[in-house]
Structure 1
């Protein structure tokens, strides 16, 4: 690869995805503080990728500044006492994150669902405990849906937020589906309990069922 992205490819290959997420947030504005970045992450990023702490944000900013992708300056308040550090993306930083978006390999999403793991081990669980876990997850999914909907409301008024707003609408539908799937699973578990639960111990190991999935 040659052209304007070549230096970004060389110096940014060791950056984790969280660094690109922070750099991407900076690409939406001329200058942001760590507090601003935290607010932006809570407004959008947390619904689909990452909910960083302040310490994580500042660690990423330090890393990005070391690569030359970010510059910073201290802004002093009118009283001359308080100061805050403001961060801005550099030209090389904007080129690097654009290259990452357009040319880096896209990892498949990895589903690590602790609620499903409990349900999968339902033969070892108490029915009431499984019910509590599923009910809590239904409440969580609905809470996240409402928060995403609230954050998406009115965001279309700013054309600079067009793509984040589209992602927020996707997140609303995602959490709606997650809630419905959890409700369906709860119904399935209730039906299993009515029919009678499987024994917890077996004299011989149970072989997994044969898969009908197509070969990979």
Structure 2
């Protein structure tokens, strides 16, 4: 285990899982997946169950988490619960405070399709933009719902700010896609010699 002067070398997924445990609750892999889906997925990603369990094994091996098997009620399977250790909390604290923050890297598949618009049909491009607008609006609505559900979570002041940002981000994505569709129609109309306002 690294000391407080040097961050432990872990992949981003490990830090995310350790971060979820840093709120102090004892959680199962299922709980961690549920929390990731209700928060991290909107601005980072949501790890799969296999990724979560692989990272939990890595973190336990590094002394960052402990686990215990809980005997189930009748008919249920045993459940393993994980808790962050003092060393794990120290490691994630150092990482959050000291590790370099990479700038966001935008990968926007609908925009790549538009960039290659000379190879596509206009109707297909419009449908791509509309599909992305609808997806963004759906994510905005889900982020708003998760924000409302998380409002009662003790200690979630900062995740609530991230969820508010996520709701605004997906609203902006929907608006940007609608603006891009208008721009596409205007460009196509101008090429065809039409008045783009009609």
Q: Is TM more than 0.5 here?
A: yes
Equivalences, count: 191
2:182 counterpart residue number? 187
Match of 2:122 among 121, 127, 130: 127
- 178-187 vs 77-86, which moves further: 77-86
Confirm whether residue 57 of structure 1 aligns to residue 52 of structure 2.
Answer: yes
- Cα distance in structure 2, aligned partners of 1:85 and 1:105: 33
> Does the residue aligned with 2:70 lie in a helix, a strand or coil?
strand
Confirm whether residue 104 of structure 1 aligns to residue 92 of structure 2.
Answer: no
1:66 counterpart residue number? 61
Confirm whether residue 5 of structure 1 aligns to residue 17 of structure 2.
Answer: no
Q: How does 1:1-216 map to 2 (within 5 A)?
A: 5-6=4-5, 9=6, 12-13=8-9, 15-79=10-74, 82-196=77-191
Cα deviation 1:60-90 (Å, max 9, x = unaligned): 1111111110111100113386201110100
Unpaired runs of 5+ residues, structure 2, are: 193-198
- Cα distance in structure 2, aligned partners of 1:120 and 1:58: 39
> Does the residue aligned with 2:24 lie in a helix, a strand or coil?
coil
- Cα distance in structure 1, aligned partners of 2:76 and 2:159: 36
With normalisation by structure 1, the TM-score equals 0.84
With normalisation by structure 2, the TM-score equals 0.92
> Does the residue aligned with 2:155 lie in a helix, a strand or coil?
helix
> Does the residue aligned with 2:151 lie in a helix, a strand or coil?
helix
- Cα distance in structure 2, aligned partners of 1:189 and 1:35: 44
Unpaired runs of 5+ residues, structure 1, are: 198-216
- Cα distance in structure 2, aligned partners of 1:155 and 1:126: 43
Report the RMSD for the aligned CA atoms in angstroms. Answer: 1.7
- Cα distance in structure 2, aligned partners of 1:157 and 1:52: 24
- Cα distance in structure 1, aligned partners of 2:71 and 2:118: 61
- Cα distance in structure 2, aligned partners of 1:119 and 1:48: 23
- Cα distance in structure 1, aligned partners of 2:187 and 2:75: 67
